[in-house]
Amino acid sequence: MDKIKDFIDEEVNDYRLKTEAKENETKEQFFTYLLLGYSVTKFKKWVDKKWDKSDRKQMATSKLKLEELVDKVNEVNDIGKTKNYFELIDYKRVEEVKKSFTDELLKYYEKRQEIAEKVPNKAEYLKDFVDKYDKQMANVPYFKNGKVYSWHTLSDYTSMIYNTNLTRAGWNRTLTDAERTGNNLLYIEAHPFSCPVCMQYQGKYYSTKKNDIYPYIGTALDGGIGHPHCKHVPTIASSPIKMQDDDYNSVEWQERYEIQQKIMAVERNKEKLRTDLSIYEKMGDQTKIDLTKAKIKKLNQKNRELKASLWPIAVASQ
């Protein structure tokens, strides 16, 4: 069992779920305040309180805990300051993303409020924006080759930053441990549900030196391991030991990974639809209520089918 990967998984998933819950709560409050006719100033007070900097301490504490865990796995006593082989993303970037989100949110609120106060039926006017809201608020750009490659929600992007920083902190700590103890041999543990990029590099030994008997660790990095969503962190191997029986690198495991990603997407969509359902109930729109309930029911069925489809693949991979 990879304790480091499990730690990163638990920390990032917990953060992502809490941030997604805040996004959904913000959406519901957006429409609730509009229906009640509250001013943008009143909504801003709620937004500022909800989207504070409380996660900064969580991220810093998790990094320290991870470094202690890496030392423990590497069987190395605390050796002081970690070398920055890989630069961590400053929390300022998280602040920038949050500010962009809240600024856009308040502008959108002001626009909708201006018209909502003039129409005879607020609910009738606002119901058309429940679906449009999600696209409007997915306003964080991801750049690739100097161009906007895709747009993301705040929770998607900040979770990616959190994951990236924890993984890089783990690499930094292991490479620091290896350098100061004179160990050149590293091992990248194989994970089930790894992405196709990482599969070919996991479950193998690497050297911190070039032209060694084992492949240079840089080849794995050049191949893509350590990407923004990666949870692979090498650990010190004082001597070669028996590799894992299963390196989880097969067509079956790739299919299983893709199914797991679909399951996660379905769960996120269900939570968004539950928020929409609550909004439509406040609007008293029975047609939208029935339609949203039907969508949730369909996603529940899809989720059951996806989870069931994992088992044949699991058996085939053994």
Give residue-wise pLDDT tens across range 7-20. 999 999 999 999 99
Average pLDDT score, the chain:
91
pLDDT class for 243, splitting at 50, 70, 90? low
Same domain, 172 and 83: yes
Locate 245 and state its tokens.
């029986």
**C-alpha span between 192 and 255 (Å, rounded):** 11
- Helix/strand/coil for 1: coil
The string of pLDDT tens digits covering residues 209-232 is 998 999 999 999 999 999 999 999
Strand partners, 143: 148
Task: Check pLDDT > 80 for residue 34.
Answer: yes
Domain boundary, last residue among 182, 201, 216? 182
Q: How far apart are the first and last CA of the chain?
A: 17
Judgement on whether residues 167 and 92 belong to the same structural domain of the protein: yes
Helices (H), 117-250: 122-126, 129-137, 154-181, 196-199, 217-223
The stretches of 51-90 forming alpha helices (DSSP H) are 55-73
- Boundary-marking domain end, from 194, 212, 245: 245
Domain range holding 176? 1-182
- The predicted pLDDT at position 312 comes to 64
Q: How far apart are CA 66 and CA 281, in angstroms?
A: 44
Q: Is 80 left (phi over 0), alpha (psi -120 to 50) or beta?
A: left
Please tell me the total count of domains within the chain. Answer: 3
Q: Does 174 share its domain with 187? A: no
Regarding whether 172 and 215 lie in a shared domain, the answer is no
What is the per-residue pLDDT for 248?
79
Tracing tokens 């069931």 back to the chain, one arrives at 308
Cβ atoms of 187 and 239 closer than 8 Å? no
Q: Report residue 245's pLDDT band, with 50, 70 and 90 as the boundaries.
A: low
- Tell me, yes or no, whether 100 and 10 share the same domain: yes
- pLDDT exceeds 70 at position 283: yes
Residue 267 shares a structural domain with residue 125: no
Q: Do 155 and 110 lie in a common domain?
A: yes
Residue 146 above 60 pLDDT? yes
Query: Which pLDDT tens digit goes with each residue over 164-186?
Result: 999 999 999 999 999 999 999 99
Verify that 176 and 40 share a domain, yes or no.
Answer: yes
Q: Which of 91, 96, 95, 108 is nearest to 44 (CA)?
A: 108
If asked whether residues 232 and 294 sit together in one domain, one would say: no
Count of other CB atoms within 10 angstroms of residue 15: 21
Tracing tokens 């039907």 back to the chain, one arrives at 294
61 and 112 both lie in a single domain: yes
